[in-house]
Amino acid sequence: MSARRIFARPARFAAIAPYVWMVLFFLVPFGFVLKISLSQTAIAQPPYEPVFDLTAGWTTIRAAFAALGIDNFKLIASDDIYVFAYLRSLTVAVTATALLLLIGYPIAYGMARLPKRWQAMAMVLVIVPFWTSFLIRIYAWINILQHDGLLNQILLALHLVSQPVVWLSTDTAMYIGIVYSYLPFMILPLYATLAKMEPALEEAASDLGAPPWQVFWLVTFPLSLPGVGAGVLLCFIPIVGEFVIPDLLAGSNSLMIGQTLWLEFFTNKDWPVASSAAIVLLVVLLLPLLLYERLQRRQLEER
Amino acid sequence: MRKVSRLSRFNIASLALGLGFLYLPILILVIYSFNASRLVTVWGGWSLRWYYEFFGDRAMIEASWMSLRVAVASATIATLIGTLAAVALSRGERFRGRTLFSGMLYAPLVMPEVITGLSLLLLFVALNAERGFWTVTIAHTTLTMCFVAVVVQSRLGSLDRSLEEAAMDLGCAPVRAFLSVTLPLIAPAIVAGWMLAFTLSLDDLVIASFTTGPGSATLPIRIYSEVRLGVKPEINAICTLVIALIAVVIVIASLASKLSSSQGESAAPL
């Protein structure tokens, strides 16, 4: 036991470099987002004011503080575009996460029931698409879903439709893209809990006369809830702030919050409003983020 | 007595459909990159035409070169710092700010990229840093070191601690015990972590868009601006090349984790 303590002391020093890095490049930047979200838009470089100048003396700094205000947040709360964008982001994230759970669960369940030898292979097969470029996978779907793309060609050839269906720039295309991109994130935590489950439990329920759906609903599903929780959080949080998929696959008449943030920043060059949007998004995601952090820590440290 | 059959027809069907759904679009993309026809949807026979086009496209080549340099640099720094973080979390004694530390390491894994990108950009602007190679590299390092930390930490967690304890009982100094006992054992996970960081960096569009400067676009930024204008056969060829590169990386990573699984539990990414 003493060896463990001796080892622990230098190991603590290992934290210094990553700690400093994360404080500098992860924590401190949020301070800047908060500060600029309270600033005024200006036609300047950088396009906001007031700018802190520590060399200018105390009065200037105080004046800079006095000029900070919550106008941008008022704008966001009163402007329908933002309110709708937030609502849409949440709706899309809830719907997509539900779809992912419905589609991912049977796949993870099937994987967990494969013979042990094949399970590792199946896991690699699910992970590999996660390694291939995100943008490329979305692009692959544009190929398939466009007006004279493969899907319409097949549907026409089978006489299922008489003229090409509009797939691109619809919510359907966006949901296909989201489910496709996030599926591995849903499957892996589900599979991890399902694979650890004792098969004897299901067998016992079945021996005692429970029909298969009851075995699933009363035994398998409740036992897999930790995996469900991890999968849901792992998908829900990033989907709320998703930009690329709705931008390339969904129509442009209703935007998600990630898109409005991008638009304010890159097109309108309104950094303060973009920062305010980021702060509101962060506040919305705070609870799921905390839940996720706790889950992740428990999973990695208590094994 | 009825037994729950281990693998039902439903299980097989959902597996086959699921894997088909994951792989068919990529397969179609690869096949169409060899299409001779300018119309993306009309098959005009096999051809390498779009690959020649890509190698003649200077802007694309420059963007690819930029992306590769950023990916190698950020993956290397991320692996160094991420491994240190994993060691501190799984071996270090409790220290003040530990909860904040693990929180900062896990949050970027799920944090929407628009937030990470915007906040880093504002930092770089405040620091008056010239935006380009280094700002993107720092941004990618910040994101990917968290993935490295998780992969390495999961390997450290499954490691038998009595090995390093035995080394120290036999008089090894802690740092020496780490270098000569622990490090070789977690090496496969470190390799896998580097590969994961490399591919994540190569892939990133959003954070790079925020943190790069004019004239130093990465490959995803170029691809994105082309894709917004519509499907071009040349993009199919570039995407296929990227997939091929990543496939090589995956093979190396899986060889590394095979090495690791022969010594115990496999260190799967995530």
* Closest CA in chain A for residue B29: A140
* Closest CA in chain A for residue B177: A7
Chain B, window 232-251: residues with a beta carbon less than 8 angstroms from a chain A beta carbon: 235-236, 239, 242-243, 246, 249-250
Chain B residues in contact with A6 by the CB 8 A cut-off are 168, 174
Residue from B2, B4, B30, B169 whose CB has the most chain A CBs within 10 Å, to mutate: B4
Confidence class of residue A103 from pLDDT cuts 50, 70 and 90? very high
Cα distance between residue A289 and residue B111, in whole Å: 8
Q: Are strands A48-49 and A40-41 parallel, antiparallel or unpaired?
A: antiparallel
Residue A200 reports pLDDT greater than 80: yes
Question: Which of helix, strand or coil describes residue A41?
Answer: strand
> In this complex, which of A21, A33, A150 lies closest to B81 when CB atoms are compared?
A21
CA distances from B140 to A157, A176, B102, B113 (A): 46, 28, 19, 11
Chain B, window 180-219: residues with a beta carbon less than 8 angstroms from a chain A beta carbon: 196, 199, 202-203, 205-206, 209-210
**What is the structure's pLDDT at A1?**
47
Closest Cα partner for A223 from A254, A192, A252, A187?
A: A192
pLDDT in tens, A88-102: 999 999 999 999 999
- How many Å lie between the alpha carbon of A247 and the closest alpha carbon of chain B? 9
B53 touches chain A (CB under 8 A): no
Residue A302 reports pLDDT greater than 60: no
B91 touches chain A (CB under 8 A): yes
> In this complex, which of B149, B196, B231 lies closest to A143 when CB atoms are compared?
B231
Chain B residues in contact with A36 by the CB 8 A cut-off are 122
pLDDT in tens, A16-61: 889 999 999 998 998 888 888 887 766 566 667 655 555 556 666 6
**What is the structure's pLDDT at B100?**
83
Chain B, window 22-41: residues with a beta carbon less than 8 angstroms from a chain A beta carbon: 22-23, 25-26, 28-29, 32, 40-41
CA distances from B27 to A168, A204, B23, B24, B32 (A): 20, 43, 6, 5, 9
Question: CB pairs under 8 A, 24+ apart, for A56-63?
Answer: none
Task: Over range A241-253, report the average pLDDT.
Answer: 88
**Do the interacting molecules here have an ipTM over 0.90?**
no
Residue A127 reports pLDDT greater than 70: yes
**What is the structure's pLDDT at A213?**
84
**What is the structure's pLDDT at A285?**
87
The residues that bridge with A49 in the sheet, in sequence order, are: A40
Cα distance between residue A147 and residue A133, in whole Å: 24
Q: How crowded is residue A123: how many other Cβ atoms within 10 Å of its Cβ? A: 20
* Closest CA in chain B for residue A296: B106
Report CB contact under 8 Å: B15, A110.
Answer: yes
Contact A111, A119 (CB under 8 A): yes
Report CB contact under 8 Å: A144, B87.
Answer: no
Read off the pTM. Answer: 0.85
pLDDT in tens, B98-109: 788 888 888 888
* Closest CA in chain A for residue B117: A29
Report CB contact under 8 Å: B250, A301.
Answer: no
- How many Å lie between the alpha carbon of A169 and the closest alpha carbon of chain B? 12
* Closest CA in chain A for residue B166: A3
Residue from A52, A90, A132 whose CB has the most chain B CBs within 10 Å, to mutate: A132
Cα distance between residue A221 and residue B53, in whole Å: 52
Report CB contact under 8 Å: B93, A130.
Answer: no
Chain B residues in contact with A119 by the CB 8 A cut-off are none
Report CB contact under 8 Å: B114, A130.
Answer: no
Higher pLDDT, B264 or A176: A176
Residues near A243 by Cβ (< 8 Å), separated by ≥ 6?
Answer: A256, A258, A259, A261, A262, B112, B113, B114, B206
- How many Å lie between the alpha carbon of B45 and the closest alpha carbon of chain A? 16
Tokens 């919510």 map to which residue? A171
Q: What's the whole-number average pLDDT of chain A?
A: 83
* Closest CA in chain A for residue B135: A25
> In this complex, which of A120, A122, A140 lies closest to B29 when CB atoms are compared?
A140
**What is the structure's pLDDT at B270?**
41
pLDDT in tens, A70-87: 777 777 777 777 888 889
Chain B residues in contact with A128 by the CB 8 A cut-off are 250
* Closest CA in chain B for residue A247: B228
Report CB contact under 8 Å: A10, B111.
Answer: no
- How many Å lie between the alpha carbon of B112 and the closest alpha carbon of chain A? 5
Chain A residues in contact with B257 by the CB 8 A cut-off are none
- How many Å lie between the alpha carbon of B1 and the closest alpha carbon of chain A? 6
The residues that bridge with B46 in the sheet, in sequence order, are: B35
Report CB contact under 8 Å: A131, B250.
Answer: yes
> In this complex, which of B164, B168, B203 lies closest to A133 when CB atoms are compared?
B203
- Which parts of chain B register pLDDT below 50? 1-4, 263-270
